[in-house]
Structure 1
């Protein structure tokens, strides 16, 4: 069964991050029993290992191995200072040069202002492309359009859900039907 990985770069705790909740919700919808789904919140990795790019650190090595094992990824980050998060950048920087070669990747960003909508195309997409990803059309979601219920469920405003639907449809079409590892 192919593996779909949600990789989130929020500095907020995973339980409070709208970005992480959105990525998990979309990942679960996309997996729909046809894909194994795993979640990796970069914030949960040891800071010392991340900042020193210590790929021998067991947690960092396990995270990098999970990315290598993934057949497709959703990479999501809140926008800070007109770009994706530093914690996500730090993690992406320690991956091998072509760690995402041939993998469908859906970039997502969340933020408080429509002024940050270009962060997906001008900040996140180029880095994912340089790692070899087959980058799908990304999407930006305003924070205020995401509601997280007490049980962790995500509700998007109807206009956001409608605008996001074709993006998710194209990404779903790009998802592999078999594991890359099984084919290797």
Structure 2
């Protein structure tokens, strides 16, 4: 089984605190020998997304990353109790059974705990129709758990609070355990 993991970022904001979560998880996985690739949906051609151009070279390339991955991390801010429309436009371009047999780890961030169940009620039903059956314990964070640090350059770094790091660690370990179990089978 491939140790390739693809991260799909549905944030429309390049400086989103969600990037802090994504970076933390990517570094944790890569330090354990897993390779990662990231699809930042907002950088895909907007016309291809909006006009559902399945034959677009950029969409084909992104879908190939998902196809070749053993696990998919779906990351999104929460707006109006759901994942972003940007993410939905890309999900609509994935093959109908494009998540079949894949481990799926959701990472969501929102302004308040009021949208804590958005992973369960907004994301999982959509992904289940695409063949996703094995969900790793998702992580929902609130904005106040991540500090955005500007160092004077154009680079933005993020500082995650200890409790959030612990939850991300637990989800990464669960993902790794599932990889190991699948490799033994």
Q: Which residue of 2 aligns with 1:165?
A: 169
Unaligned runs of 5+ in 2: none
Please give the per-residue CA displacement for 1:50-85, whole angstroms capped at 9, x wherever unaligned.
Answer: 011101111111111111111211110000000000
- Where 1:137 maps in the other structure, the secondary structure is coil
- The two structures have a TM-score, normalised by structure 2, of 0.87
- Where 1:105 maps in the other structure, the secondary structure is strand
- Where 2:48 maps in the other structure, the secondary structure is helix
Contact 2:6 2:36 in 1 (8 A): yes
- The two structures have a TM-score, normalised by structure 1, of 0.87
Q: Give the alignment of 1:1-184 within 5 angstroms.
A: 2-13=3-14, 16-133=15-132, 134-149=134-149, 150=151, 152-175=156-179
Coordinate RMSD, CA, aligned = 2.1
Give the Cα–Cα distance (whole angstroms) in 2 for the partners of residues 129 and 20 of structure 1.
Answer: 25
Give the Cα–Cα distance (whole angstroms) in 2 for the partners of residues 88 and 111 of structure 1.
Answer: 15
Give the Cα–Cα distance (whole angstroms) in 2 for the partners of residues 157 and 98 of structure 1.
Answer: 36
Number of residue pairs matched by the alignment: 177
CA 81–26 in structure 1, closer or farther in 2 if over 3 Å, else same = same
Unaligned runs of 5+ in 1: 180-184
Give the Cα–Cα distance (whole angstroms) in 1 for the partners of residues 125 and 25 of structure 2.
Answer: 22
